[in-house]
Chains A and B, each alone.
Chain A
Amino acid sequence: MTTTTPPVAAGAQDTNGPSTRASRVRKRLNSRTATVVAIVIAVVWTIPTFGLLVSSFRPEPQLKTTGWWTFFRDPQFTLQNYQDVLFGQASGSGQLANYFVNSLVITLPSVLFPLAFAALAAYALAWINFRGRDWVYIGIFALQIVPLQMALVPLLSFFSRGVSIGGVTLMPAWNLDGAQNFAQVWFAHTCFALPFAVFLLHNFISQLPKDLMEAARVDGATHPRIFRTIVLPLVAPALAAFGIFQFLWVWNDLLVALIFAGGSDVTAPLTVRLAELAGTRGNEWQRLTAGAFVSIVVPLIVFLSLQRYFVRGLLAGSVKG
């Protein structure tokens, strides 16, 4: 019952033909079942998104009265939904173009800050010898388990009232308004991302060849120099992996933005606006479908073009431990 049938055995098929044939048929049937099941799963997974995409291009009256699958019988195509939801002036129209800019402004620094700080920290934890190194690493690693819900209430009051212990002000109140509120969101995202970022980058940076580092030290290179000229180029794929992680997480985040961006149209990102539209205009499908796609398209492009790095980061973070 081997999988490869040698050509010689073909002649012998007469003697044990029935059983071999039966097993071969069964095997083909098995693999056919497997293929069918796989295709069914793939279709079930893809159809909801596909339906929404098709819907977002259908004219409002059609969209609200007939199912999106009728599109193929009666194809009517319009960009009006996108036009409305992005640039419309009516209060309920979405004005998503504005929120799109907010999402960009929130995401860029929220990816860069933790990336740089965590890379520095991960390098120190991996390649600088100092007392208590393991304890610092364990401490940062352990912070991953703190749900960010635990930090929300006090962090918000830090921003509005500052931090003071025993009458000594450690951090003054921020008193931000308008676009300055972005700083709060950046700060929150950076803090919340750091434990995982340090953990992930440490996995990569600590695996660099020891000889390389020692050779550089012997040549008299300082730590900042090694970090800049040796470590950063070598772990670029890991930086990309974390960058994508953090990008998707920040772009798709609702909770942090809801609390720290203040919900106004000056600082709130797409997700906040979209959740709002879903709540107040849950039956305005022409806006919801188009709006959902506006918010999905950027992460989807990033994801599809950089999938390779993303997967690599995923595996380093979850399988190796």
Chain B
Amino acid sequence: MNFDFAAQAPKLMMLLWGLVAFAVVVGGLLILLDVVPAFFARRREAQLVAASAGGGVPLPRRTKPREGLFALFFLLPTVLLLMIGLVVPAIRTTLLSFMDGGSQNWVGLDNYRWMFAEDAIVRVLINTLVWVTLVPLVATGMGLLYAVLVDKARLESLAKSLIFMPMAISFVGAAIIWRFVYAYRGEGQEQIGLLNQIVVSLGGEPRQWLLDSPLNTLLLIVIMVWIQAGFAMVVLSAAIKSIPADIVEAARLDGVTPWQMFRQITVPSIRPAMIVVVVTISIATLKVFDIVRTTTNGNYDTSVIANEMYNQAFRYGQNGQGSALAVFLFILVLPIVIFQIRNLRQQRREG
């Protein structure tokens, strides 16, 4: 047992400083906004009293509390942080994507041309496409299936918790969990990975699952589906529960089979929720980075855009190429989000 408490002291000091700074900013802001207007109100009152007593003193001008000023202070930290942390950087990244690796010279569209010319990067783009088609579909499908199956079942909340649990596990943790499932030991040795054990006990030969392309990409996708299905299940389950009971009852009196019920009542009723789920998972999938990095580090043809962006910008020092990949990622996300916004507005109009 060896743990150096003294080494932790500077960190805890830093934490304390952070919290103090935080208290000063937020507390200070609220107190300032509370005290200053109150001070002016009191002074005005005093002036009024003086004016009514003294007779000759002109009545002070009526000062109206300025709503806009309050809004400004309430919004200031957020807007400032967003400007420094997101808006300006995103614009800079777009500019950097037209510059060379060291961000010195303008190179026009070279970085984008490189993206589509380099075989390795085209592979990355194809992988990303496979991820973003498969993960949302399979995860939503699994989530929906499970939500329907356990609806009103005994131990429903326990059953849901089991599927939902991976949401709390980090991508890194999940990747390690599944690497263990895919673990390989030579033929003839006892297997320690569950998947190879199953294959062996069915009479097959153990395989190095994570080395064989394109199978390895699919196996990494399994990890993401494993994590996201719980999210889909919870949202869809809530949507199913909000279907009006009389519709379900009427359908049942008409003697529909469970399958008809599912096709004709359940799915149409929860369509908006399904769209939201698919969109949310698609966006999360496009940005996924940790799973690939922890399992294969992007080797063996498994890399995706988000991972390659990290490699280019932070490992190889190719800011231009990394930025171009980030911009491309943004372009991929954009239509998905516009689609969602249009959907929401349509829903509002109908609802």
Contacts and interface: CB of A to CB of B under 8 A. Distances in A.
Interface string B49-85: 0000000000000000101101110110111011011
Interface string A47-63: 11101100100000001
B276 A318 contact: yes
A146 B163 contact: no
Interface stretch (B106-114, B191-199, B211-219): B191-199
A150 B313 CA distance: 11
B171 interface: yes
B322 A153 contact: yes
Interface in A249-281: 251-255, 258-259, 266-267, 271, 274-275, 278-279
B70 A124 contact: yes
Contact of B170 (A46, A150, A295): A295
A208 interface: no
Contacts of A89: 2
Given A147-B329, A227-B30, A296-B173, A321 B181 contact: no
B22 interface: yes
A1 B256 CA distance: 9
The majority secondary structure among interface residues of chain A is helix
Contacts of A303: 165, 167-168
B176 A149 contact: no
Given A2-B253, A38-B150, A266 B11 contact: yes
Contacts of A178: 10
Given A35-B153, A194-B85, A267-B11, 18 more contacts: A34-B153, A45-B226, A46-B165, A48-B194, A49-B165, A109-B15, A130-B71, A140-B82, A147-B306, A152-B93, A153-B313, A190-B81, A222-B37, A223-B33, A254-B290, A255-B306, A288-B180, A314-B234
Interface stretch (A5-13, A14-22, A97-105, A235-243): A97-105
Nearest to B91: A154
A214 to B, nearest CB: 14
A70 B150 CA distance: 31
A45 B166 contact: yes
Given A117-B77, A124-B75, A128-B70, A150 B293 contact: no
B130 interface: no
Given A68-B192, A191-B86, A274 B150 contact: no
Contacts of B325: 149
Contacts of B18: 108-109, 182-183, 186
Do most interface residues of chain B lie in helix, strand or loop, or is the interface mixed? Answer: helix
Contacts of A180: 14
Contacts of A66: 190, 192
Given A51-B181, A98-B7, A274-B173, A311 B168 contact: no
B224 interface: no
A192 B87 CA distance: 11
A225 B190 CA distance: 68
A251 B81 contact: no
A45 B89 contact: no
Contacts of B243: none
B131 interface: no
Contact of B67 (A128, A150, A198): A128
Contacts of A311: 234, 238
Contacts of A37: 145, 149
A85 B296 CA distance: 22
A155 B189 CA distance: 50
Contacts of B344: 321
A107 B197 CA distance: 39
Contacts of B230: 45
Given A65-B190, A254-B172, A254-B289, A223 B15 contact: no
A116 interface: yes
Interface string B169-212: 11111011111110100000111111001000000000000000
